[in-house]
Structure 1
Amino acid sequence: MPFPSHERAVLLAVKGVGPTVIGRLEQVGIHDLAALAGADAAALCTAIAGELGASCWKNSPQARGAIAAAIRAAQHHGAATAAD
């Protein structure tokens, strides 16, 4: 199940987060911002690397940075939604 379109738009607005990053999150079972907001960047990168059978996602500072930025955006979106 993919991210809802409005949540996908939130993620695509984040520098370094594109369709591939979102697709990798979905591959490891992250399908909404609420789940992403509670995730750990290092754990997600390790899970993605395991899913792909390639260590690049686990070892890449760029990948880790993109996942961390996506998590921050999800947390910010959750805080903004709660304030409404």
Structure 2
Amino acid sequence: MRALWIVLLLLSGQALAWDGYDSDAGDSVSIESGNLVRPGEMIEFYDYSSGEYRDAEVESINRYGSSVEVEVYDHDSGEYRTFDMED
């Protein structure tokens, strides 16, 4: 029983990503745990199409049923992007 608690404590500290896709490009993106996804905040996300981490400013957040639409300004590309994230 003690070993189970130790394993649960170790696993609970692992960072989880918020997965979704870029609705314009149709490619997957991940927002790592620890990013405050709120309008006006800077976030770091992983762009699977480029294979690199990018920085973006959150412009807006909208919930549609079981998904969340996050509009960001990608500072690396200079473009606005819309992410459809899993809820």
**Fold similarity call, TM over 0.5:** no
Larger radius of gyration: 2
TM-score normalised by the chain length of structure 2? 0.26
Greater fraction strand: 2
Greater fraction helix: 1
